[in-house]
Amino acid sequence: MKPTLLMVPRLPAAFIDRLRESYTLLGPMEHSTPEALPEGAEQVEALLTIGTLRTDAALMAALPKLRLVCCYGTGIEGVDRAHAKARGIALGNAGDANAAGVAEFAMGLLLATARQIPQGDRYVRAGRWQGNAVERMAPVPGLAGRKLGIYGLGAIGSRIARRAEGFEMEIGYHNRSRRADMPYHYHDSLLGLAEWADVLVVSARAGAENRHAVNAAVLKALGPRGHLVNISRGIAVDEDALCAALETGVIAGAGLDVFENEPHVSDRLKALDNVVLTPHIAAASESAQAAQQETMLGNLRAFFAGKPLVSPVAL
Question: What pLDDT digit, counting tens, does each position of 97-150 carry?
Answer: 999 999 999 999 999 999 999 999 999 999 999 877 777 888 999 999 999 999
How many helices (H) and strands (E) would you count in the chain?
11, 12
pLDDT tens-place string over residues 233-258:
999 999 999 999 999 999 999 999 99
Q: With beta carbons less than 8 A apart as the criterion, state whether 236 and 213 touch.
A: yes
Q: With beta carbons less than 8 A apart as the criterion, state whether 81 and 283 touch.
A: no
Instruction: Look up 262 and say whether it is catalytic.
Output: yes
> Choosing from 45, 233, 239, 260, which is the catalytic residue?
233
Instruction: Look up 233 and say whether it is catalytic.
Output: yes
DSSP SS3 for 46 = strand
Q: Taking the model in full, what pTM does it have?
A: 0.92
> Choosing from 30, 35, 168, 262, which is the catalytic residue?
262
pLDDT tens-place string over residues 156-199:
999 999 999 999 999 999 999 999 999 999 999 999 999 999 99
The pLDDT-based confidence of 269 (bands split at 50, 70, 90) is very high
Instruction: Look up 286 and say whether it is catalytic.
Output: no
With CA atoms as reference, report the closest residue to 254 among 236, 174, 264: 236
> Choosing from 54, 136, 225, 280, which is the catalytic residue?
280
6 backbone dihedrals φ, ψ, rounded to 5°:
-125, 120
Quote the percentage of the chain above a pLDDT of 70: 100
C-alpha 106/C-alpha 162 separation (Å) is: 12
Instruction: Tell me the HSE value of 73 on the side-chain side, using a 13 A CA sphere.
Output: 26
C-alpha 45/C-alpha 56 separation (Å) is: 16
pLDDT tens-place string over residues 195-212:
999 999 999 987 778 899
Beta bridge partners of 171: 148
